[in-house]
Structure 1
Amino acid sequence: MTVLSVQKLTVSYRKNTVLHDVSFDIPQGSLTGIVGPNGAGKSTLLKSILDLHPPVSGSVTFFGSTFQKQKKRIGYVPQRGSVDWDFPTNALDVVTMGLYGQIGWLKWPTRRHRAKAMEALEKMGMSEYADRQISQLSGGQQQRVFLARALVQEADLYFMDEPLAGVDAATERAIMAILKELKEKGKTVMVVHHDLQTVKDYFDHVLLLNHTVIKHGTTEEVFTAKNLTETYGGTLKVMKEGVDHVQLITQ
């Protein structure tokens, strides 16, 4: 079953085209890494799919319908750098915000809602920080809190924009364990990812992006030296065939 279909999507910022003629389908129960060079449009792709930035043309359907009709089934973890971490709120409140679709706006969360949020924090190893202001958390702890907020939504389709960027090794392992658990439960996850060394271990599908889709499919089929060279151009040096080792070099 196709849970997400993107067809001929073109996106611009002012007069600059960031994405051109992007098309792909995402199957249910897949864990897909979105991979490409800096400035390739990876974050823009997520924002356009989620109706946060209007496309110039093209279409996006979720479970055969529109975003507005299916948004309760969709979870999103933005880049950590795009969040105002100085906002005066604690970790438990941040996670509880993920339940607003169930609570309803202008209504107070019940004891049941807060218990559910605490359960998600505990799953991410963050229950002891529930009352801690988010500005006082480390980068890895902040990322765990935002993942807990997405988990508490109990979505069917998750989008995550570089959830592993700048986190410690323990947090990276914890996040990937949760993402693989979601996949095993039949959920679908798309992750913007930057570390080529871990792609084969982390994802069963890969979308190679550089302003348009270079290749998309299973990791075994798509994550090859040839396709990576086409995606990254002269900025990529493949150290060993089979992409067991790759090295990014700046020009």
Structure 2
Amino acid sequence: MAESVIKVKELSAAYRKNTVLENVDFSVEKGSLTGIVGPNGAGKSTLIKTMLQLHPSLSGTVDFMGLPFKQAKKYIGYVPQRGSVDWDFPTNALDVVTMGLYGKIGWLKLPTRMHKEKAFHALKKMGMEDYADRQISQLSGGQQQRVFLARALVQDADIYFMDEPLAGVDAATERAIMTILKELKANGKTVMVVHHDLQTVEEYFDHVLLLNRTVMNHGKTTETFTKDNVAKTYGGNMRWMGEEKQYVVHTGK
């Protein structure tokens, strides 16, 4: 049986008085690439933020490799939604990536040449080495996303959380990001990704977590990502088109 490196038990969370997560239970295998999938308002981003203590929980427990978050955070990398970042902050791409090393450098110390070289190598891995000195506000959305992924990569974490890393990026950037995520998995890293495109779930992820405020289903994609399970997760907001798996999600009332 595969080793579980993430265990979530009876996790609940709310915004003001509105419950957005209720009794969430699941565990994640080491070296898996999991897509977190569900309708708008299902609590996908809130789930990640609550697990990482960026949002308070009402109840429940989360552990990583048998440790609480405070003890395990040095093993965890996080890429937030691009829209939640202040891209007007006056800094260049290389400095943004170097920030991923501050846990090892220490906040009151300056990065060394070795740290800068590690950061540059991470930028190069994302095809962004020519933009190292470019202000992040001058980069396109796809380029900004590559820089943020490079910042996570330079941490050399064991567990990665990524909140909609493919949202609003061009096809080339999407391919580049998925290549890196599959490399991480191949190297034994554990990756959880909030994802919105149902058409690519089977191609991109070996595990899927279907979420609608609570876990509707979770497991290997080949067994879990079925017509019935997706319909149950999306309710009346989803139509199944034809024999091939084509999904149309209705966002209106």
Between the aligned partners of 1:247 and 1:134, the Cα distance in structure 2 is 35
Q: Distance in 1 between matches of 2:67 and 2:148?
A: 27
Aligned residues: 250
Structure 1 residue 165, shift from structure 2 partner: 0.1
Q: Map 1:163-174 onto structure 2 (within 5 A).
A: 163-174=165-176
After TM superposition, the score normalised by the length of structure 2 is 0.98
Structure 1 unmatched ranges of 5 or more: none
Q: Which residue of 2 aligns with 1:43?
A: 45
Provide TM-score, normalisation by structure 1: 0.98
Q: Distance in 1 between matches of 2:148 and 2:245?
A: 31
Q: CA deviation at 1:240?
A: 3.2
Alignment of 1:131-146 (within 5 A): 131-146=133-148
Per-residue deviation, 1:249: 2.7
Deviation at 1:105, TM superposition (A): 1.1
Name which of 65, 68, 72 aligns with 1:66.
Answer: 68
Runs of 4+ in structure 1 over 3 Å off: none
2:187 aligns with 185
1:227 matched residue in structure 2: 229
Summarize the alignment of residues 143-154 of structure 1 with structure 2, pairs less than 5 Å apart: 143-154=145-156
**What corresponds to 1:14 in structure 2?**
16
Residue in structure 1 matched with residue 33 of structure 2 by the alignment: 31
Aligned to 1:246: 247
CA deviation vs aligned residue, 1:185-234 (integer Å, no higher than 9, x gap)? 00000000000000000000000000000000000111000001100011
Write the letter of the residue equivalent to 1:32: T
> Aligned partner of 1:148: which letter?
A
The letter for the 2-side match of 1:30 is S
User: Which residue is equivalent to 1:76?
Assistant: 78
User: Aligned equivalents of 1:21 and 1:212: distance in 2?
Assistant: 6
Q: What SS does structure 1 have at the residue aligned with 2:21? A: strand
SS in 2 for 1:147: helix
Structure 1 residue 14, shift from structure 2 partner: 1.2
Alignment check: 8 A CA contact 1:240 1:246 kept: no
Code of the aligned partner of 2:139: L
Partner of 1:214: 216
**Deviations 1:123-172, CA, capped at 9 Å, x for gaps:** 00000000000000000000000000000000000000000000000000
CA distance in 1, matches of 2:41, 2:211: 10
User: What is the RMSD computed on CA atoms of the aligned residues?
Assistant: 0.8
Q: How does 1:100-139 map to 2 (within 5 A)?
A: 100-139=102-141
DSSP-derived class of the 1:230 partner:
helix
**How far apart, CA to CA, are the structure 2 residues paired with 1:96 and 1:116?**
8
Report the Cα distance in structure 2 between the residues aligned to 1:227 and 1:195, rounded to whole angstroms.
Answer: 16
Give the secondary-structure state (helix, strand or coil) at the position aligned to 1:240. Answer: coil
Question: SS at 2:86's partner residue?
Answer: coil
Matched residue of 2:175: which SS?
helix
Q: Is there any run of 5+ residues in structure 2 with no aligned partner, and where?
A: none
Structure 2 residue 96 is the aligned partner of structure 1 residue 94: yes
